[in-house]
Structure 1
Amino acid sequence: MTTDSPASATAGQVLDRWSLNRALLARQLLLERHELPALAAVEHLVGMQAQAPTPPYIGLWSRLAGFAFDDLATLLSEREAVRIVLMRGTLHLVSGRDALALRPLTQAIADRSVRTGNGRDLSGIDLPALEAAARELFREPRTDKEMRALLAERFPSGDPELLNWASRTAIPLVQTPPRGLWGKSGLARHTTLESWLGRSPEASLDRGASLDRMVLRYLAAFGPATVMDAQHWSGLTLLGEVFERLAPELVTFADENGKVLYDLPDAPRPGPGVPAPIRFVPEFDNLTLSHADRARIVSEEHRKRLFTVNGIIRAAVLVDGFVHGMWKHEKKRGVATVWIELFEPVSDADREGMVEEGTDLLRAAYPEAKTHEIEFL
């Protein structure tokens, strides 16, 4: 973690967006690259959103010194890391032990989706019977097509698509490799968390996990933050009660709008003048998703360009700590390319920094490419 003193802010102080920006970057391992094993970094970040297979690789490369893309592929193949639906009801990359700890805490999100149907009519479905049957079928990795066929045999009067959706939502499922491995492809297959980790159903989840511990970990990775920020990150409600319970262990600040910010007493809060390097942040990175008020990382004007109407969160370029553009990458016919679209002008030094950082990223991601190119759109 950064060595900047946490004492640069005092309890009750108003923290402007620059101070919050530097605190967030420090917690997110983006002020400097850190000498951490990939699994330790994933746990510190309380997981990485992974609804697209490859962004966590780039997210870890941007945060860690000496990270090799094979490091994460090995963790997934050896089942030390898994991809499972957790916070906000979205797919996250987490360690196996965090999957066991966080899923019971976020199960309420899945239960709410099934209970309400998310606009779907589940009234004719025997949900307990469906869950029992699906859990048995998911002991082996299954594609959606396979599950629709198998569930149609057992529930011939039901809509196979609806049956599969309800099953996948209610049961803790892991998306298995080769899906999620860098450079690999394949259909998405799912199996139960207990089957993948080799546990009995009774021991498959950490029943001792607590919301208190989850909130403290959120603050360590994303604070200082409001109650609404924590609820936005987690997808859970009524966390105000948790913050009230934790209040004696926390310090409080205020943002520029007068909202109360909670934080861990000894967490890093470097001053607003601490330099922030050029960084390439991948699609769906929790850096841009985990606060109700995102002004600490992206302006509202730029957020509208970064977040699309169909739920895609584009990859972002950070300049002096804030989103200043978006980028994408591709390897085609032996040429690996990063395209950068800036939202506003930057200095020549910053453009040179983007070229250097982008070239290093391409060399790490596509070492077999004949050439590595940076293009500004």
Structure 2
Amino acid sequence: MTEVVAQRALGRALLERQHLLRPTTASAFDVIDHLVGMQAQAPLAAYVGLWTRIIDFDPEELSRLTDERRVARALMMRCTVHLMTAADCLAVRPLLDGLARRELQGHFKRQLDGIDVDTVAQAGAELIAAQPGTRVEIRDVLTRRWPTADADALAYAVSYLVPTVQITPRGIWGTNGPAAMTTMESWLGRPPEARPVDSIVLRYLAAYGPASVLDAQTWSGLTRLREVLERLRPGLRVFRSEDGAELFDIPDGPLPDPQTPAPVRFLPEYDNVFLSHADRTRVNPDRRRIPLPPGNGASMGTVLIDGCYHANWRLRREDGAAIVRVDPLRPFTSSERDEVDEEGLRLLGFIAADAEAAKVEIA
């Protein structure tokens, strides 16, 4: 009989593999590699994501990796911006070509009717390989060649169909810049080359498992992963969730005791711990909508209490002081309030080290 894994146990397994149950001493590069990238629509969010996972994380470490082009921000899983190692950018992006084309058609089918989008993409690739540009700058150039076409649709055709990266100084701690892009090949020094999808799925299970076929497809945006997992089945462990879903896992994936204490964790915007499963109740048991705020990041996010999403946080500055406001989604116990206060002050020491004073407000 297939072993059933309780939802709380799945939550603890996810936290352990995400370095949220116990922080790691691994390098930022190794953590990004292990996680198969980190959500990075908000360009500074990954710094908070690494801070909460790595003991004594120094933001300069990630800035240096970005400047050295060992990691990059690119349109990847689910056609959203991820921070990934250069090797993963080049190996994973080709697997997502079909997804990117479907997303473009889903958003701009009418606006691009009668337009050869591959010709647009080629023109855009040549443009940004020679001179990196923002989507607005790409749009303004392409409309000279396609004056009657929808200008925004032309620019999005490039950002969806051309493997690109967002270049520095965007995503550098302590500074920022426009969302200018160039081709992945020109920035990373070699063309994208697909890695077998089997290896990517195995790495997903190592960082997010045990997981179902739908979980893996939700994380990646890819389809037809059942045939991949069936091919891998002989080398995997197979479980059942409490609701009967079949779950796959690597042979040595950690499954901590479900009663293992889970410390309070402040997470950034868009953290993948919330976005990488079809069934997200392992860390979001109340099925609350995860806030997806705009901005550069490192100024708001979510809070895990006892391993689950139970609060939001936001930074504000006032008369030289840095204040992190915590809005609970359920009442806190006295000990939870103390732990939130302690961890909130530690967060302020990272994101607002220049402040004259630091304070945590629990609404």
In the alignment of these two chains, the number of paired residues is: 358
Q: Output the amino acid matched with 2:326.
A: I
**TM-score in terms of structure 1 length:** 0.91
Matches within 5 A, 1:39-78: 39-78=29-68
Matches within 5 A, 1:295-314: 295-301=281-287, 303-304=288-289, 306-307=290-291
Tell me the equivalent position of 1:167: 158
How far the C-alpha of 1:192 sits from its partner, in A, is 0.5
Matches within 5 A, 1:1-377: 12-139=2-129, 140-199=131-190, 204-207=191-194, 209-301=195-287, 303-304=288-289, 306-307=290-291, 315-377=301-363
Once residues 116 and 357 of structure 1 are traced to their aligned partners in structure 2, the CA distance between those partners, rounded to angstroms, is 42
Once residues 207 and 101 of structure 2 are traced to their aligned partners in structure 1, the CA distance between those partners, rounded to angstroms, is 27
Once residues 24 and 110 of structure 2 are traced to their aligned partners in structure 1, the CA distance between those partners, rounded to angstroms, is 45
Is residue 135–residue 155 contact of structure 2 (8 Å, CA) maintained in 1?
A: yes
Is residue 69–residue 365 contact of structure 1 (8 Å, CA) maintained in 2?
A: no
State the percentage of identical aligned residues. Answer: 43
Q: Output the amino acid matched with 1:84.
A: A
Is residue 148–residue 161 contact of structure 1 (8 Å, CA) maintained in 2?
A: yes
**TM-score in terms of structure 2 length:** 0.94
Structure 1 pair 159–118 and aligned structure 2 pair: CA distance change class (3 A): closer
Is residue 269–residue 291 contact of structure 2 (8 Å, CA) maintained in 1?
A: no
Once residues 293 and 360 of structure 2 are traced to their aligned partners in structure 1, the CA distance between those partners, rounded to angstroms, is 28
- Tell me the alpha carbon deviations over residues 248-286 of structure 1, each in whole angstroms, 9 at most, x when there is no partner: 010111111011111011110011011111100111000
Structure 1 pair 117–281 and aligned structure 2 pair: CA distance change class (3 A): closer
Once residues 344 and 149 of structure 1 are traced to their aligned partners in structure 2, the CA distance between those partners, rounded to angstroms, is 49
How far the C-alpha of 1:187 sits from its partner, in A, is 1.8
Q: Output the amino acid matched with 2:253.
A: A
Once residues 105 and 333 of structure 2 are traced to their aligned partners in structure 1, the CA distance between those partners, rounded to angstroms, is 53
**Stretches of structure 2 lacking an aligned partner (at least 5 in a row):** none
Once residues 102 and 143 of structure 1 are traced to their aligned partners in structure 2, the CA distance between those partners, rounded to angstroms, is 23
Once residues 287 and 68 of structure 1 are traced to their aligned partners in structure 2, the CA distance between those partners, rounded to angstroms, is 22
- Tell me the alpha carbon deviations over residues 217-274 of structure 1, each in whole angstroms, 9 at most, x when there is no partner: 1100000010000011111111100010000010111111011111011110011011
How far the C-alpha of 1:121 sits from its partner, in A, is 2.8
After superposing the two structures, state which structure 1 stretch, 287-296 or 358-367, moved more.
Answer: 358-367
Structure 1 pair 197–64 and aligned structure 2 pair: CA distance change class (3 A): same
**Stretches of structure 1 lacking an aligned partner (at least 5 in a row):** 1-10
- Show structure 1 runs of 4+ deviating over 6 A: none
Q: Output the amino acid matched with 1:223.
A: G
The alignment's C-alpha RMSD in Å is 1.8
Is residue 11–residue 283 contact of structure 2 (8 Å, CA) maintained in 1?
A: yes
Q: Output the amino acid matched with 1:151.
A: L
Is residue 298–residue 322 contact of structure 1 (8 Å, CA) maintained in 2?
A: yes
How far the C-alpha of 1:308 sits from its partner, in A, is 6.4
